[in-house]
Amino acid sequence: MADKSIAGKGLEDVVVATSDICLIDGKKGTLVYRGYDIRELVEGGATFEETAYLLLNGKFPNRTELDDFSRAMAGCRALPKEVLKIMQILAHQSHPMELLRTVTSLMSSYDPDRGDTSLDAMRRRALRLVAQFPTIVATFDHMRNNRDPVTPDPELSHAANFLYMLRDEKPDKYESRVFDVCLILHAEHELNASTFSARVTASTLAGMFGAVTSAVGTLRGPLHGGANEEVMKMLIEVDSVEKAESHVKQLFADKRKIMGFGHRVYRTDDPRATFLREYSRELGKRKQTPKWFEISQKIEEIVKANKTLYPNVDFYSASTYHYLGIPRDLFTPIFATSRISGWCAHILEQYQHNRLIRPTADYTGPQDLKYVPVDERK
């Protein structure tokens, strides 16, 4: 319509909210949570628990607050037995992201705060969701492989406990820290597609489970969180450093996207990829299979030589997760086990300053058509 100005396709560069949670500078390649650059968090030794607290509460916890928060989180990792029963039925026929989406929705029926819309109840819900997401993912993996799920260990950190529940073996200190940092790096990213969908759902005053279910559904797609799984498929297909160049050139020739490259916001290195590249390199050495890192590095070199495209968070997280022994189809659910903290922070922020999110469209279809009864239509 002539009197409507249309925003950039895909809402590019459109500002739709104010937020105190996250700042991305796409030109400088910086990512800031509540005023702290992620480099500060990672290099300063912050944990995922501290990061989740920061995102949900707007400030870092002191020692007592952190201990209370970590204990509370560790104390609610277990899933309701009714949820476990339904998961058992679904485990053999669902993609893990479908399972996670369904179970998120299902959890609303077993919410101890059901019906309570107070901010305190929302915060308790957020804490439980952050605590339980890893349990859902690890439990699902055991169920689909006909193994008994591993009971969460409240003595372990959030990151170490996930690896323990998944692999049924306590991880060493280095692997726990790598995974902890992976969780920190994926925790929050401003109004990415899944967070935006969470806020849209929350803005109707639908509950937190509905908003998170929307977010999980949105994260799954290969243009968003699903890219890390696609990256690993590509690495396996390429299989050797020598074949990387012809593979990438063929993708370019076929005008197909190289998964794990490009970003709507970053016009330079994604700061998360910078950390993940080094973890992938180091894990490759430690596991004595540098191949996956080397193929990734070669692909990065070829892509950069041909196009102005940089690796995003998904590119080196693929080989990093692979080195950590995580099955490929769990890569995106693991993204969700971290991003749940950012989603909940945004949902809480949305509820506190809510106005229904309802944009409008520029109608380009026909007008003034006349109804013709079905039997008279050609």
Binding site for ligand COA (CB under 6 A): 10, 223-224, 227, 257-264, 309, 312-314
For the bound state, the minimum distance from the C-beta of residue 251 to ligand COA, rounded and expressed in Å, comes to 7
Six-digit token pair at 86? 């339904």
> Quick one: three-class SS letters along 46-81?
CCHHHHHHHHHHCCCCCHHHHHHHHHHHHHCCCCCH
Tell me, yes or no, if 314 is annotated catalytic. yes
Q: Which is nearer to ligand COA, 270 or 349 (CB)?
A: 270
φ/ψ bin of 322: left (φ > 0), alpha (ψ from -120 to 50), beta (otherwise): alpha
Closer residue to ligand COA (CB): 38 or 107: 38
Least distance between ligand COA and beta carbon 220 (Å)? 12
The answer to whether 13 is a known catalytic residue is no
Identified catalytic residue from 263, 270, 322, 346: 263
For the CB of residue 10, give the shortest distance to ligand COA in the complex, in Å. 5
Q: Please tell me the distance from the alpha carbon of residue 53 to that of residue 225, in angstroms, as a whole number.
A: 23
Q: How far apart are CA 360 and CA 300, in angstroms?
A: 39
Q: Provide φ and ψ at 117, rounded to 5°.
A: -105, 15
Nearer to ligand COA, 262 or 342 (CB): 262
Q: 83 or 258: whose CB is closer to ligand COA?
A: 258
Identify the bridge partners of residue 37 per DSSP, sorted by sequence position: 32
Nearest distance from residue 299's CB to ligand COA, in Å?
A: 11
Beta carbon nearer to ligand COA, 54 or 227? 227
Q: Work out how close the CB of 314 gets to ligand COA at its nearest, in angstroms, rounded to a whole number.
A: 5
Nearer to ligand COA, 77 or 247 (CB): 247
Q: Select which of 141, 314, 322, 346 is catalytic.
A: 314
Helix/strand/coil for 77: coil
Residue nearest ligand COA (C-beta atom): 262
Tokens describing residue 65: 């607050």
Q: Is the CB of residue 158 less than 8 Å from the CB of residue 354?
A: no
Write out the DSSP string of 211-269: HHHHHHHHHTSTTTTTHHHHHHHHHHHH-SHHHHHHHHHHHHHTT---TTB--SS-SS-
Spell out where 110-160 has E strands: none
In angstroms, the Cα distances linking 67 to 75, 142, 167, 344 are 12, 30, 26, 20
CB nearer ligand COA, residue 9 or residue 353: 9
In the complex, least distance from residue 315 CB atom to ligand COA, rounded to whole angstroms: 7
Q: Helix, strand, coil shares of the chain as percentages rounded to 5?
A: 60, 5, 35
Closest separation between CB of residue 309 and ligand COA, Å?
Answer: 5
The span from the CA of 299 to the CA of 143, in Å, is 35
The Cα–Cα gap between 57 and 176 comes to: 25
Q: Which amino acid would we find at residue 21?
A: I
Residues with catalytic roles? 263, 314
